[in-house]
Chain A
């Protein structure tokens, strides 16, 4: 088989400019064939998901809303190393680092922590690269099915630590489950 005649899909058709006969030029046969195809679609299963009533099932590896993790003692894992921000292809993450005070040992696990940690949800593409980059297991994408809610203000889409950090009760519950 030569390259010219090869067909990967097996459906290759030569274009021909041959003159149509009288019957062909009336298009009747072709139209009836077309009608036959479309009427078949009248009886096929519809693909629409009626959204507010029905929610599409999501894959097992669904990447949902981010969360900044706490360890078993309820301390934040993040050390503000900036690797997540560096790895983010959408440049969605910004943070400000701060030094841990001696009396904050119960709040932050490492000596340096993120005093501000923001993800711009309008930029984020939920690729999960931040999760992969993090050396401290601090950020991860949860299974949450809740989508970023709509809003009129751009500021509302910048999620700060108040929305991202894992609630304390959840951390304690987790540690209880483990023990």
Chain B
């Protein structure tokens, strides 16, 4: 039997939890509003860079994170109401529109803040070391917070009145309308919530990597693959698929070469997408 280094497993699990959170924002919008938000990576990017700006003007790290999340949520609401909602029924156009929006965000960041790499200060510093395992505290914190956020979200959707309205809208928009639910409001709200969650994943994950204007595309495609292969709208599925993705990435990176980790993980999810478009846990 091959001995599996604990480090690799933990690397995979932690990054997987973060990937899961990245995907939730996309998944929520896709299942409730019914659109694949190609600007997902753009909101991720905005979250990371706004947090960076707030840190630059001297705000404390937690405050900068919170503000960035709120700002992105608000931007999400405004962008949705002004551009996406008017053409909601034209699915292909929405896909293209959000794709273009992602480019707009990326270019705005590139022009205003610059194309070079930036670093985001982590919430916690230092590294954890025990039994031969080394891991940055930020990574551990990000993973734990990701899981907490995902759990909170699923409780919110399951328990709260608003959550119930969201679920009803997801199942049948017309019926929800008849029951007096303001479907447009639910869509706007969900879009704001989804983009805020995306920003949340960005401020947690980005300190582990570096910031640059094109940083959003990988999380976007990754999120889409994780969302679909985990089963559309399935919060648990996203987390499971995120971890599978993270583990594949970690193992291939360790045993073959770091550059092949992501490629292998993508291939795996692409195969799941093609073989089971309804998702791994879907019926």
The answer to whether A and B assemble together is no
